Structure 1
Amino acid sequence: MSLKKNHWLSNMKYDFPSGLVVYLVALPLCLGVALASTGRSDLLFSGIIAGVVGGIVVGSISGSALGVAGPAAGLVVIVLSALETLGSFEAFLLAVVLAGVLQVIAGFLKAGIIGYYFPSSVIKGMLAAIGITLILKEIPHAFGYDADFMGDEAFDQKDGQNTFTELYRSVRYSSTGAMIISGISLAMLILFDKPFIKRIQFFRYVPGALFVVLTGIALNLAFSAWFPAWTLSGDHLVQLPVASNASQFFSFFKTPDFSAFTRVEVYTIAATLAIVASLETLLSVEATDKLDPFKRDTPTNRELIAQGIGNMVSGLIGGLPVTQVIVRSSANIDSGARTQMSTIIHGSILLLSAVFIPHFLNHIPLASLAAVLLVVGYKLSKFSLYQGMYRLGKEQFIPFIVTIIAILSTDLLKGIAIGMVVAIYFILKKNSQHSYQYIKEKHRDGDVVTLILSEEVTFLNKGSISTTLENLPEGVTVVIDGSRSLNIDYDVLEIIQDFKKHSAPLRNIRVETKGINEVYVVGGH
């Protein structure tokens, strides 16, 4: 697989259909997160605004080739609490703007290096857990039980239920029409993933998700004509705000209450949003880079700046806070996206559809979209991922499994924190206080840089090693000597291998390794 640099038009045949799929995934998630975050139907458009800003603004500035930003379920509790504390949505928007300012400052202060310190086992555990969560959370929507908002990731739900009791209730209160639509949708998506379908030129570039949505609309219209009892309506359909005229449409946009500058609570909430949104973004960046088939590295400091600018814009025009979101990013990668143009396309379609065809979108059954997300969830948590992690040994497998269980039983950030504790335990057990020696020599044929790795090299060293490799000048020869090392952590071996096979050839850097074993790289996809 090859990728032409600086030729976004040559990749449009991949990026446009991918952007369309991400749009179909993002639309119900934007609305679901907005309703859960604010509890007000008149503020549903704040989720659409955040999705548009995440796609167009953040997508244009970010250095992430395949990451997609938008409103995140992980911020729902913070937003709800903030609205209760501040008493108005406009005052909250000021906190969102200030959170963006803090993220931009953090980016310029190079705080993005934090992203290098998440162990590979924990990131892959997060991916698998999100996949399982998607499956468990979307089954009720596929059955036509839509009590919980679409995009929820937490174990305990706002309606007093939890992930597992919701499954029971979805079976008990299922809808025949929804099950027929989701069943046919799943069958179509599985069919579209078959090699013989992909060999047909037309289906190679037209996403199956589009056919699924159109089929869902057609089936529901058929139900209303011939089987009224099966017809889906109300909460079972997309519910995008519809404006009767231009004036009403512009009323969906809000501006911050700048008089709230004097309130201490605004700054506390802004700091909380900035920290949590940045952590979720850095986690998603690490996960997205691992799923990227081209193994590109996202500049994390630039990503923080892009997210900060996105939050400033979103807050100024009435949108929710944004982060990079792994569900949308995974759907983007799975659909074959090549560049960040797919992210921008998804944001553009989201904006245009909200302006011109909201009535049509409100005919889309959530059961159809649930089928799309079920497939995304399955691909994030394939059995081969568990097999691959098990083969890497207990130091990788145990933190991986603990992270999955912790996320499923709590929420994303708490689960990651628990997984980190377990991973760090194994690292500290091996004694992680070692680094490497850097030697640069002048030769007639060019400079030679030698990195002599220490006895113990752990994931705690991967940030400095990765930065050193990234900062090597073009055309040099680098010798990475691990012959003296007693242990080189999998995360560091993965970085060295990715650099040698992918990054170095693009920069005309010759890489020689001594005592560095190749590793089995688990993509999780």
Structure 2
Amino acid sequence: MNLFKNWKKDIPASIVVFFVALPLCLGVALASGAPVFSGIIAGIIGGIVIGFLSKSPIGVSGPAAGLVVIVLNAITDLGAYELFLVAVFLAGIFQIILGILKAGVIGYYFPSSVIKGMLCAIGISIFLKQIPLAFGYTDTFSITEFDFNKITPGAIIITIITLSILIIWDNYLGKKSNFFKLLPGSLVAVLIGILYQVTIGDSNHDVFSIDHNLLVKVPVPESVTDFVGQFVLPDFMNGLTNPMVWQVAITIAIVGSLETLLSVEATDKLDPMKRQTPTNRELIAQGMGNSLSGLIGGLPITQVIVRSSANAMSGGTSKLSTIFHGVLLFASVISIPVFLNLIPNAVLASILLVIGYKLGNPKQFLDMKKLGKDQLIPFAVTVIAILATDLLKGIIIGLIVGVVVSLIKSYNNSHVMLVKEGNIFHMNFAEEVTFVNRGAIVKELDGLEPGAFLELDVRKTKILDYDIIEYLDEFKVKAKNNNINIRLISERGTVDNPTSFREFFGYVLVAGAH
């Protein structure tokens, strides 16, 4: 595949991802109790190295907020950042082993409702966390102890200006002209923010000024020696013999791999072309990235849904946008750190407010309600659980609820059989097919060669999970691209290359009538 085939879409998307990733890299590092530069290192490796190695078309990797608590506790317990880096290196090795052992299929067994709940909860969380930055709040933010004297009017002004730019760009200008599609609104918003800071925000006017504590803070090396000195090497001598280091490594490998696989599943759903990421290859790519990050002083890396969704929503179509955002991160910390430090946090908050709203749009609850209680309940529980606890605990709670709901709905095991007859494949769906069977179905259908003819027989099927219907619609797009013809056989008759499985099954199987 030509990496530069869709550069007109990928380059603008990479700029958006860069401006989303930069504050997240710094923020995750600070929250983790690690050197600030360690977040930049992880972002660069996640973009360039994992970008090249991964087969995820629009997935973007970097330091993950979901690992903050684990990293903070690990650095504290180990007592030295150099020992923690050994754990990061070993975690990468474990991930490579998991990929070789083909453990990537785990992600297929998470219900669609749980994944969508994860996306929605992340969006809500992102939106809420940007509010203090948008208001230029100069102290630890608390709703119960909110103090109007601690807000910064200048930050509110630039938030209103940049939010207006982003909304107008997204809903009006971007649809009217190719020029506005190539020039991302986020870049314009950042430039306006810098212009405001150098003309008004940095003045002595108390009302409109923005304090330097409310600006982006990128390390500014004064020489090559200073820049190289920001890299930290792992202490293998003491780390490899420390049992706690191995325990931390295993924890990071398991949690990081799970977060990556869920992000892959969610990101693939955002892909308009419905391409599917090879998960085992993704684990190997993440493992190589983490090992390298640990070697030169970086934080643990996972595929991150915030960056990936920003990429997808900005029109990114290939790995070029991911790789180039890593190049921009590297170039920025070398060439223009002083320039970047003129960006008000309120500008970046505005960008994230828009992304957070798109991910956590309240309309999703109504959409899930229309699909039925078996979709709404796990979705809502996942959202609430993640917001009330953390990402990992919330996903586990949502998964448990999803399994219980599915078991209540269907307690008999279903069976899928694929019979090959020349270039014709005949697949029978059993009486009950739920999300538990999704992995097996994905494996079988992904194995079809281009030009194949698939007969999908659902005459015996009485219960068909929405997750399977959703995947069939995704597979339909892939089948068309690979010249695979589909014949759907049901008690209502035969349909060749159905336009929408969701529409067809919505009136036949989900409604409970043949």
Aligned to 2:421: 441
- The correspondence for 1:508, drawn from 483, 489, 496, is 483
2-structure distance, mates of 1:234, 1:509: 58
Conserved in 1, the CA contact under 8 Å of 2:455 and 2:488? yes
State how 1:100-119 maps to structure 2 within 5 Å.
100-119=92-111
Conserved in 2, the CA contact under 8 Å of 1:213 and 1:364? yes
Aligned to 1:284: 263
Question: CA offsets, 1:392-440, max 9 Å, x none?
Answer: 0000011111111111111111111111111111111111521212222
Go from structure 1 to structure 2 and tell me whether the alpha carbon gap of 1:346 and 1:167 turns closer, same or farther (over 3 Å shift).
farther
- The correspondence for 2:85, drawn from 93, 105, 111, is 93
Conserved in 2, the CA contact under 8 Å of 1:95 and 1:267? yes
Go from structure 1 to structure 2 and tell me whether the alpha carbon gap of 1:228 and 1:461 turns closer, same or farther (over 3 Å shift).
same
The residue identity in structure 2 corresponding to 1:187 is: S
- Is residue 2:123 matched to residue 1:144? no
- Is residue 2:490 matched to residue 1:488? no
2-structure distance, mates of 1:425, 1:493: 20
2-structure distance, mates of 1:208, 1:431: 50
- The correspondence for 1:475, drawn from 451, 470, 492, is 451
Aligned to 2:159: 182
2-structure distance, mates of 1:12, 1:474: 27
Go from structure 1 to structure 2 and tell me whether the alpha carbon gap of 1:411 and 1:35 turns closer, same or farther (over 3 Å shift).
same
The residue identity in structure 2 corresponding to 1:213 is: V
Q: How far apart are 1:7 and its partner, in Å?
A: 2.8
TM norm structure 1: 0.91
Aligned to 1:337: 316
- Is the partner of 2:420 in helix, strand or coil? strand
Conserved in 1, the CA contact under 8 Å of 2:134 and 2:156? yes
Aligned to 2:511: none
Question: CA offsets, 1:208-253, max 9 Å, x none?
Answer: 1011111112112232336244322333111111111000100001
The residue identity in structure 1 corresponding to 2:171 is: K
Q: How far apart are 1:448 and its partner, in Å?
A: 1.5
The residue identity in structure 1 corresponding to 2:218 is: L
The residue identity in structure 2 corresponding to 1:75 is: L
Conserved in 2, the CA contact under 8 Å of 1:432 and 1:460? no
State how 1:122-521 maps to structure 2 within 5 Å.
122-145=114-137, 147=139, 165-166=142-143, 169=146, 173-223=150-200, 224-225=202-203, 227-259=205-237, 260-429=239-408, 430-442=410-422, 447-500=423-476, 502-515=477-490, 518-519=501-502
- Is the partner of 2:501 in helix, strand or coil? coil
2-structure distance, mates of 1:322, 1:489: 33
1-structure distance, mates of 2:148, 2:39: 29
1-structure distance, mates of 2:156, 2:54: 39
Question: CA offsets, 1:371-399, max 9 Å, x none?
Answer: 00000011112243222211100000111
Conserved in 2, the CA contact under 8 Å of 1:144 and 1:170? no
- Is the partner of 2:32 in helix, strand or coil? helix
1-structure distance, mates of 2:56, 2:86: 27
Q: How far apart are 1:483 and its partner, in Å?
A: 1.1
1-structure distance, mates of 2:27, 2:414: 47
Go from structure 1 to structure 2 and tell me whether the alpha carbon gap of 1:465 and 1:147 turns closer, same or farther (over 3 Å shift).
farther
Conserved in 2, the CA contact under 8 Å of 1:140 and 1:166? no
2-structure distance, mates of 1:302, 1:385: 32
Q: Percent identity?
A: 50
- Is the partner of 2:4 in helix, strand or coil? helix
2-structure distance, mates of 1:520, 1:361: 49
Q: Which stretch shifts more, 183-192 or 377-386? A: 377-386
Go from structure 1 to structure 2 and tell me whether the alpha carbon gap of 1:136 and 1:432 turns closer, same or farther (over 3 Å shift).
farther
Aligned residues: 493
Question: CA offsets, 1:291-326, max 9 Å, x none?
Answer: 111111111111101100000111111100000111
The residue identity in structure 2 corresponding to 1:218 is: L
1-structure distance, mates of 2:401, 2:10: 39
1-structure distance, mates of 2:27, 2:71: 14
The residue identity in structure 2 corresponding to 1:25 is: V
Go from structure 1 to structure 2 and tell me whether the alpha carbon gap of 1:302 and 1:197 turns closer, same or farther (over 3 Å shift).
closer
Aligned to 1:156: none
Conserved in 2, the CA contact under 8 Å of 1:143 and 1:170? no
TM norm structure 2: 0.93
2-structure distance, mates of 1:86, 1:94: 11
Q: Which stretch shifts more, 409-418 or 221-230? A: 221-230
Conserved in 2, the CA contact under 8 Å of 1:37 and 1:80? yes
Q: Which stretch shifts more, 95-104 or 230-239? A: 230-239
Aligned to 2:29: 34
2-structure distance, mates of 1:147, 1:238: 16
The residue identity in structure 2 corresponding to 1:121 is: S
Q: How far apart are 1:520 and its partner, in Å?
A: 6.0
The residue identity in structure 1 corresponding to 2:236 is: F
Q: How far apart are 1:519 and its partner, in Å?
A: 1.3
Q: How far apart are 1:78 and its partner, in Å?
A: 0.9
Q: How far apart are 1:147 and its partner, in Å?
A: 5.0
2-structure distance, mates of 1:287, 1:170: 38
Question: CA offsets, 1:256-300, max 9 Å, x none?
Answer: 111121111111000000001001101111111111111111111
1-structure distance, mates of 2:187, 2:390: 31
How well do the aligned residues superpose, as a CA RMSD in angstroms? Answer: 1.7
Conserved in 2, the CA contact under 8 Å of 1:99 and 1:311? yes
Conserved in 2, the CA contact under 8 Å of 1:64 and 1:299? yes
